[in-house]
């Protein structure tokens, strides 16, 4: 569903006032459109410490001084965040060649598309901001990319604006942050003369973050020699002066939904833990319908069942939806769109598989849902609990089996891949309750992941854990909020650093009976007691 574009939002930016810095000669030459100029990316003149609801990396008043050639390009920006933040929107400075509109993409560190923003047809030029179809939680230290397609070329391109690192708030970009690809819609990785393609990301954090001013660059005159044929070239032009406007919008259409049928299957036994065999779609199940690509649910109270989705997401855009006996391969279930959470989501007897393409995103997100007898098998992220800012409510996980695998390539030494996967992670989440379930992280010798259960003090509320088996990760079980923990079972020798790392021990966590190390059989779900487990883990 195309989203409503917006003019550049008035960010409560970390950097309140910035100005461009030009040499006199380069400014005159740019105005005369004689040759390329190289302005400093920005020079900080004043910074404030006011709280920021949203942040972007580049100043909104930064204007391009040159355009690329007329070949088609995918151009973008590579960036990082210094702590968790949600990617909300993409900003693009539109040239006249984008009058037919374009698609912008947020890419994962491994080059998988995470979310898109649709820029509609418009004859206007200038900076425009469009919301991502769904917000994406960004992990610190990972390299993400935002890019857009320029089918007719002539995209804004200023050389030597990324000769040094740039930062604003929680956003960082290393030198050579401007990236491109010669194929439209491809993950851009190549760089050319430290070019800035005037595409940016907008993130939300809830506070201002650091206030260290970004570095400035000394303006110089760009090289006059012709660029090579493997990279975009720039041609002199005057900067666009027209103000950005919003384009037409498209009304959403109601996706077909299926009617309710029989009751869910019998839950797994109370002694053994759930397994692959007794969670997810029942044995012998066959779908009544198969969809390649996304499926949207827009009717409140709808029941979606006996459906198979391949290479697509199940997008829940209405409240009180029931998902029953659905299989998803290379996709996810998502219930936040346009900053609105569709609460009351119930997911039963459903399977989510890694498939041919790991999407690098949670199998289920964001909040206000109940997962019963759900099987998540193979994706690099499991359950996400979050979305309080979007109105998401509590999450319940019951009788479910979650097994998360590392990124592709993690099996190779020296791959340079840094995987931070979790079977369940909370970020800005309401209360989460997990009962009689398995949360399992499957690291490799070169990618250990984060935790099977990870609920830190990052806007999270509280947790109730009862009769839960956790296995794998640096620290297997991490709870830093208030909570109640009973009958927690940590699989022996499944950690890298320790079995648990709970900062709220004695200060909000009620550590009840039955918490212990166990010997665990994944195939049958059987387990046997080994020794008691302290809230402090090895420190207890």
Query: Rounded to an integer, what distance in angstroms lies between the CA atom of residue 50 and that of residue 534?
Result: 42
Last residue in a domain, options 162, 194, 211: 211
Question: Is 228 inside a domain boundary?
Answer: no
Q: What secondary structure letter does DSSP report for 300?
A: T
| CB atoms inside a 10 Å sphere around CB 403 | 23
Together in a domain, 365 and 488: yes
Residue 317 and residue 190 in one domain: no
User: Of the residues 193, 211, 229, which one is the last residue of a structural domain?
Assistant: 211
Render each residue's pLDDT in the chain as its tens digit; 540 residues: 333 333 444 443 333 333 333 333 333 333 333 333 334 444 332 323 333 478 999 988 888 988 888 888 999 999 999 999 999 999 999 988 888 899 999 999 988 889 999 999 888 889 999 999 889 999 998 999 999 999 888 899 999 999 999 999 999 999 999 999 988 889 999 999 999 999 999 999 854 333 333 333 333 333 333 333 334 433 333 333 333 333 333 333 333 333 333 333 333 334 799 999 999 999 999 999 999 999 999 999 999 999 999 999 999 999 999 999 999 999 999 999 988 999 999 999 999 999 998 888 899 999 999 999 999 999 999 999 999 989 999 999 999 999 999 888 777 777 677 788 999 999 999 999 999 999 999 988 888 889 999 999 889 999 999 999 999 998 999 999 999 999 999 999 999 888 988 888 878 999 999 999 999 999 999 999 999 999 987 643
Count CA atoms within 13 Å of residue 389 on its CB side: 17
162, 181, 211 — which closes off a domain? 211
- Range(s) of the domain holding residue 44: 5-211
Q: Are residues 79 and 171 in the same domain?
A: yes
d(Cα 292, Cα 312) in Å, to the nearest integer? 6
pLDDT at residue 538, rounded to an integer = 60
- If 0-12 CB within 10 Å is exposed, 13-18 middle and 19+ buried, where does residue 500 land? buried
**What is the domain count for the chain?**
2
Are 496 and 376 in the same domain? yes
pLDDT reported for residue 415: 66
Structure tokens that stand for 66 in this block: 């040159």
Residues 6+ apart with CB under 8 A from 138: 81, 84, 85, 86, 87, 144, 203
> Are 346 and 485 part of one and the same domain?
yes
Return the pLDDT at 65: 87
Spatial CA neighbour of 251 closest among 4, 499, 429 = 4
Same domain, yes or no: 199 and 346: no
Per-residue pLDDT, 13: 38
Residue 239, in any domain of the structure: no
> What span, in angstroms and rounded, lies between the C-alpha atoms of 139 and 270?
36
The answer to whether residue 15 is domain-embedded is yes
Does the residue 218 lie in any domain? no
Q: Compute, in degrees rounded to 10, the torsion defined by CA atoms 53, 195, 117, 85.
A: -30
Tell me whether residue 72 is in a domain: yes
Amino acid 134: pLDDT: 87
481 & 355 share domain:
yes
Q: Does 204 share its domain with 295?
A: no
Tell me the residue ranges of DSSP E strands in 281-418.
289-292, 295-297, 303-310, 314-316, 322-329, 333-334, 336-337, 340-341, 345-348, 351-353, 364-365, 369-372, 375-377, 383-386, 395-398, 401-405
Strands 126-138 and 85-94: antiparallel
CB 385 within 8 A of CB 425: yes
H helix or E strand, kind and range, residue 26: helix 24-32
Q: Are residues 190 and 303 in the same domain?
A: no
169 and 318 together in one domain: no
Structural domain contains residue 282: no
Confirm whether 234 is domain-assigned.
no
246 within domain boundaries: no
**How many Å apart are CA 438 and CA 40, to the nearest integer?**
53
């Amino acid at each position: 569903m195309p989203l409503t574009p917006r003019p550049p939002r008035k960010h409560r930016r970390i950097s309140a006032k910035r100005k461009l810095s030009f040499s006199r000669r380069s400014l005159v030459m740019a105005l005369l459109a004689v040759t390329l100029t190289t302005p400093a990316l920005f020079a900080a003149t004043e910074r404030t410490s006011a709280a920021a609801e949203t942040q972007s990396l580049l100043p909104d008043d930064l204007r391009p001084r040159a355009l690329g050639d007329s070949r088609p390009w995918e151009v973008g920006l590579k960036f990082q965040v210094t702590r968790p933040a949600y990617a909300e929107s993409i900003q693009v400075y539109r040239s006249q060649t984008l009058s037919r509109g374009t698609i912008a993409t947020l890419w994962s560190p491994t080059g998988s598309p995470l979310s898109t923003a649709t820029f509609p047809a418009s004859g206007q030029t200038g900076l425009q901001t469009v919301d991502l179809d769904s917000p994406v939680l960004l992990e610190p230290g990972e390299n993400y990319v935002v890019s857009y397609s320029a089918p007719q070329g002539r995209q804004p391109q200023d050389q030597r604006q990324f000769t040094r690192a740039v930062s604003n708030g929680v956003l960082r970009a290393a030198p050579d942050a401007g990236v491109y690809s010669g194929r439209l819609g491809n993950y851009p990785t190549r760089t050319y003369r430290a070019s800035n393609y005037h595409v940016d990301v907008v993130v939300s954090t809830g506070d201002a973050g650091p206030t260290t001013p970004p570095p400035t660059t000394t303006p110089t005159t760009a090289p006059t020699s012709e660029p090579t044929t493997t990279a975009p070239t720039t041609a002199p032009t005057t900067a666009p002066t027209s103000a950005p406007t919003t384009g037409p919008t498209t009304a959403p259409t109601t996706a077909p939904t299926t009617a309710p049928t029989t009751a869910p299957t019998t839950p797994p036994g109370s002694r053994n833990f759930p397994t692959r065999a007794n969670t997810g779609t029942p044995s012998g199940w066959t779908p009544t319908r198969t969809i390649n690509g996304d499926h949207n649910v827009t009717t409140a109270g709808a029941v979606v069942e006996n459906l198979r989705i391949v290479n697509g997401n199940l997008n829940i855009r209405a409240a009180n939806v029931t998902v029953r006996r659905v299989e998803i391969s290379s996709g996810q279930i998502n219930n936040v769109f346009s900053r609105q959470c569709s609460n009351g989501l119930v997911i039963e007897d459903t399977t989510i598989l890694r498939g041919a393409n790991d999407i690098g995103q949670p199998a289920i997100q964001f909040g206000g849902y109940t997962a019963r007898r759900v099987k998540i098998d193979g994706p690099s992220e499991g359950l996400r609990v979050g979305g309080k800012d979007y109105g998401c409510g509590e999450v319940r996980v019951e009788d479910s089996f979650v097994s998360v695998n590392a990124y592709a390539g993690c099996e190779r030494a020296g791959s340079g891949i840094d995987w931070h996967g979790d079977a369940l992670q909370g970020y800005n989440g309401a209360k989460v309750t997990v009962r009689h379930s398995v949360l399992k992280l499957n690291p490799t010798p070169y990618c250990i992941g984060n935790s099977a259960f990870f609920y830190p003090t990052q806007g999270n509320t509280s947790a109730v854990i009862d009769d839960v088996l956790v296995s794998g990760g640096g620290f297997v079980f991490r709870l830093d909020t208030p909570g109640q923990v009973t009958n927690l079972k940590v699989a022996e020798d499944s950690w890298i650093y320790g079995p648990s790392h709970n900062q709220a021990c004695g200060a909000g966590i009620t550590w009840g009976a039955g918490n212990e190390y166990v010997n665990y059989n994944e195939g049958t779900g059987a387990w046997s007691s080994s020794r008691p487990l302290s809230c402090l883990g090895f420190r207890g």
